[in-house]
Amino acid sequence: MTHAQDLFNQTPTSFSFEFFPPRTQQAAESLYDSMVRLEQLGPSYVSVTYGAGGTTRELTRDLVLRAQNQTGLNTVPHMTCVKQTEGELRDLLAAYAQAGVSNILALRGDPPSDAEHDWGTERFRYAAELVSFIKDQAKPLGHPDPRGFGVGIAGFPEGHPGTPNRMAEMDHLKAKVDAGADFIITQMFFDNRDFYDFRDRCELAGIRVPIIAGIMPVQSVPGMRRMSELALGMRYPAPMLRALRRTDGSDESVRRVGVHWATEQCRDLLDHDAKGIHFYTLNKSGATVEIYRTLGVSNSKQLLEGNDLGI
């Protein structure tokens, strides 16, 4: 398994997929099939989310360990701070270290929306503290890599809703990198100009770690609404909304526009030297496979060397 510090040097653009742990055995089997199918595309890594407030702690761990032990996938578990004790997170890290998990995505998580959250009771208030904790724990827990875990963090091209002051927000992002983060995965965005501007602002702030673009192929209108609730601050650009309004509104036509939009975003990101593209798969393999086919990039070797077509 490959540490983040090596991972992003192996290919000009990494490709990765995000999954969430299902709650039923049947859904778990179907997700596992999707993961095996997507493994054939040779992703640099796959990541597994951590339910809000640690609600999927065991499910996340079990899926990560299964993928890690039974497939050749490089698995990156997400880990969050909200409502998590130091002991719970240390136990998880111990299981991951033992299984040879190389990298972890360290996040704050969101407090429950239905109640006023008491931050004073939390062991970790911000993701930067979790980054330091993960870095410090690797050695005592006997991680096989002398560098310990590689750590990824979240970045928000359109801004995080909790910090309207974008200069302060950049300071907080820099603090996570200074705490030891090795790479950034962005929130989903649908206008690449937001990503390029974010990347430039990071560069100006002295942030030198790889910044991975988060891409979500839209698959349905209810899904779009759900996402705009979950990814607060993110917007769907007018040209995309117009393209959707021109369809007959059927699921298939919405999906076709969504996949086409995401494919064009990816093509443009490749042209602009994005260090990586992270697909929010929503546990389905179809859209991602289609995008790969259209882009013609089925593995990192092809990305690295290209095809000599004489053009």
Ligand X SMILES: Cc1cc2nc3c(=O)[nH]c(=O)nc-3n(C[C@H](O)[C@H](O)[C@H](O)COP(=O)(O)OP(=O)(O)OC[C@H]3O[C@@H](n4cnc5c(N)ncnc54)[C@H](O)[C@@H]3O)c2cc1C
User: Active-site residue numbers?
Assistant: 18
Shortest approach of ligand X to residue 197 CB, angstroms?
17
Shortest approach of ligand X to residue 294 CB, angstroms?
24
Choice between 7 and 244, CB closer to ligand X: 7
Of 76, 127, 207, 216, the residue at the interface with ligand X (CB under 6 A) is 127
Choice between 160 and 284, CB closer to ligand X: 160
Shortest approach of ligand X to residue 107 CB, angstroms?
4
Choice between 76 and 291, CB closer to ligand X: 76
Of 144, 162, 222, 239, the residue at the interface with ligand X (CB under 6 A) is 162
Of 214, 217, 258, 276, the residue at the interface with ligand X (CB under 6 A) is 214
169 near ligand X (CB under 6 A): yes
The site map against ligand X for 58-97 (x = CB under 6 A) is: --------------------x-x-----------------
- Residue 69's Cβ-side half-sphere holds a number of Cα atoms within 13 Å equal to 11
CB 171 within 8 A of CB 209: no
Shortest approach of ligand X to residue 160 CB, angstroms?
4
Of 38, 154, 244, 282, the residue at the interface with ligand X (CB under 6 A) is 154
Residue list 281-310, contact with ligand X (CB under 6 A): none
Query: Taking Cα atoms as reference points, which of 292, 231, 273, 209 lies closest to residue 15?
Result: 292
Residues that bind ligand X (CB under 6 A): 49-50, 52, 78, 80, 107-110, 126-128, 154, 160, 162-163, 169, 172, 176, 185, 187, 214
